[in-house]
């Protein structure tokens, strides 16, 4: 028995954890529900803690280097310590809130390449290696976000890529330690543009929309960026023709700068 306890403390023959999500499709401000199933190992063990959280794979810039980092941005503790008997099964249901700022990972049923967000489960066992489990979720846009994304499509923009970057967008309501950028290729009518980057920063009532227009560099000129941000009510977004709004702004900026 002592040898089995030693193996369990090293992670062999110890408890295992599995998380089962009731529904993987969620929206910012919603709740992902599921249950954690803990399978006892060869010996009795004391569980010191159990928690679930959200984790994102984020790009980090450091000087001239760039790397990815897993950032946990929401965490809920599920109960206190307890004794887990050998071979016993312990099930814990949970509901985990999705922050309003959570980046979207799906558009029109299609996954955004490079987006990795999931539910992380942590099981802390006395004198043992922590067991963990990560289960991907699919974050769909809010109706207000979908309206603006659809406006870009109506104007002829094509999706290029998306990423999550550690840092803050100044002048926004951002609280998470990272933000999302969705990049689009422009249509021919905006021929002076290289790309447009779009970021959403929402809370329960409103959303900051941040746009960055990237000008193409020419033979005798360098590229340049122009930023624009505006606020959208999550319940009042339908009162605006977003395709017309975006076209007017880009045309106005482009003509002033002789981009197109």
Q: Are residues 224 and 160 in the same domain?
A: yes
Q: Are residues 185 and 211 in the same domain?
A: yes
Structural tokens at position 61: 């810039």
Q: Are residues 117 and 50 in the same domain?
A: yes
Taking the model in full, what pTM does it have?
0.87
Q: What are phi and psi of 223, to 5 degrees?
A: -70, 165
Q: Are residues 168 and 126 in the same domain?
A: no
Last residue of a domain, one of 139, 171, 200: 139
Last residue of a domain, one of 75, 107, 139: 139
| Domain, as residue range, for 153 | 143-256
Q: Are residues 131 and 152 in the same domain?
A: no
Nearest to 95 by CA among 21, 17, 202: 21
Q: Are residues 46 and 14 in the same domain?
A: yes
* Distance of alpha carbon 243 from alpha carbon 249, whole angstroms: 10
Q: What is the dihedral of CA 130, 133, 134, 137, to 10 degrees?
A: -130
What does the pLDDT profile of the chain (260 residues) look like in tens digits?
Answer: 332 333 344 354 578 889 999 999 999 999 999 999 999 988 898 999 999 999 999 999 887 889 999 999 999 999 889 999 999 999 999 999 999 999 999 999 899 988 999 999 998 887 665 656 689 999 999 999 999 999 999 999 999 999 999 999 999 999 999 999 999 999 988 877 888 999 999 999 999 999 998 865 443 334 446 788 999 999 999 999 999 999 988 888 766 656 55
Last residue of a domain, one of 113, 139, 165: 139
Whether the CA torsion 241, 247, 248, 253 is positive or negative: it is positive
Structural domains in the chain (count) = 2
Q: What is the CATH number of the domain that holds 11?
A: 2.60.40.640
Cβ-contact 119, 152 below 8 angstroms: no
């Amino acid at each position: 028995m002592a040898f089995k306890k030693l193996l369990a403390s090293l992670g062999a023959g110890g408890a295992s954890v599995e998380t089962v999500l009731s529904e993987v499709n969620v929206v910012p401000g919603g709740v992902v529900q599921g249950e954690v199933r803990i399978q006892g190992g060869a010996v009795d063990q004391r569980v010191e803690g159990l928690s679930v959280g959200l984790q994102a794979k984020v790009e980090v810039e450091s000087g001239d280097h760039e790397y990815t980092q897993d950032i946990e941005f929401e965490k809920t503790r599920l109960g206190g310590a307890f004794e887990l008997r050998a071979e016993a099964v312990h099930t814990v249901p949970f509901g985990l809130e999705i922050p309003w700022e959570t980046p979207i990972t799906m558009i029109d049923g299609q996954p955004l390449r490079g987006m990795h967000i999931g539910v992380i489960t942590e099981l802390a066992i006395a004198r043992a290696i922590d067991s963990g489990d990560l289960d991907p979720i699919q974050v769909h846009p809010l109706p207000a976000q979908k309206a603006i994304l659809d406006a870009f499509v109506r104007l002829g923009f094509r999706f290029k890529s998306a990423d999550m970057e550690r840092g803050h967008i100044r002048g926004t309501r951002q609280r998470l330690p990272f933000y999302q950028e969705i990049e689009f290729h422009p249509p021919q009518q905006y021929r002076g543009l290289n790309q447009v980057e779009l970021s959403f920063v929402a809370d329960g009532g409103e959303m900051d929309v941040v746009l960055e227009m990237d000008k193409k560099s020419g033979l005798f000129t360098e590229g340049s960026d122009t930023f624009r941000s505006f606020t959208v009510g999550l319940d009042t977004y339908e009162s605006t023709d977003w395709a017309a709004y975006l076209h007017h702004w880009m045309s106005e900026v482009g003509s002033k700068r002789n981009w197109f």
